[in-house]
């Protein structure tokens, strides 16, 4: 932006605005502009955040407590999607993630969180999620197993295309069996950084990249 000199302005005694009033109005206008810009910047951040996928949805964790993404502020977060009656990947993946957490240095563990979202809300009550976590030794304090209503779970899974990239595939998928097994890594500003294949998990790579991201 080019600099410009400010010309002298002379006011007569009959001016509608005194210099003092003009100064006050100038400060008010500057404040409004700054506030508007800040609002726009925040709106842009929210719109591009991975957590915008959870907008207007309600979840409970394995302790039957309300869960929202505000709990994840300033943490590196790994998301996966499960259901407790899964006979194949879900338990294997959960146990692999336990190994990932255990591979992290102690000082890094406080900087990360995991969120396992149930895709079977009619069966997966908070009590069943707690039992699933215990069965798979997922006792990390910052590991949230969450569930919601069928409608909210469907909305989230459709937003993330967990049952297919196109509408026809999604509508014909058998839920919850046919969900993708990807892992989603989000940085401490809520930005999606990486989506990993979840079967099998490259545990050493995942632990290394979570640690690196936590140190940024």
Superfamily for 51-214? Glutaredoxin (3.40.30.10)
> How far is residue 15 from each of residues 9, 11, 19, measured CA to CA in Å?
12, 6, 9
Tell me the domain boundaries of the chain. Answer: 11-48, 51-214
At residue 94, does pLDDT exceed 50?
A: yes
* CB-CB contact of 75 with 216 (8 Å): no
Closest of 132, 5, 117 to residue 61, by C-alpha? 117
Tell me: the pLDDT tens digits for 183-213? 999 999 999 999 999 999 999 999 999 999 9
Provide the 3-class DSSP secondary structure of residue 186.
Answer: strand
pTM for this entry: 0.76
Token pair of 19 as six digits: 């210099």
Greater confidence (18 vs 7) lies with: 18
- Beta sheet of 76-82, edge-to-edge order: 66-67, 59-61, 143-147, 112-118, 76-82, 183-186, 192-196
């Amino acid at each position: 932006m080019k600099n410009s000199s400010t010309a002298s302005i002379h006011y007569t005694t009959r001016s509608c605005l005194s210099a003092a009033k003009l100064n006050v109005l100038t400060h008010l206008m500057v404040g409004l502009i700054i506030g508007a810009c800040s609002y726009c910047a925040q709106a842009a951040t929210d719109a591009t955040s991975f957590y915008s996928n959870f907008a207007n949805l309600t979840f409970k964790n394995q302790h039957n407590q309300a869960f929202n993404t505000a709990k994840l502020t300033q943490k590196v977060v790994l998301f996966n999607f499960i259901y407790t009656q899964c006979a194949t990947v879900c338990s294997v993946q959960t146990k692999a993630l336990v190994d990932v957490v255990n591979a992290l240095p102690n000082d890094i563990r406080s900087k990360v969180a995991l969120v396992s979202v149930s895709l079977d809300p009619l069966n997966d009550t908070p009590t069943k999620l707690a039992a699933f976590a215990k069965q798979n030794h997922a006792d990390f304090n910052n590991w949230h197993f969450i569930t919601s209503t069928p409608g909210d779970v469907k909305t989230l899974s459709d937003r993330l295309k967990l049952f297919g990239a196109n509408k026809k595939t999604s509508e014909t998928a058998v839920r919850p069996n046919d969900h993708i097994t990807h892992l989603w890594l989000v940085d401490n500003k809520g930005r999606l950084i990486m989506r990993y294949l979840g079967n099998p998990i490259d545990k050493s790579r995942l632990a290394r990249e979570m640690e690196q991201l936590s140190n940024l």
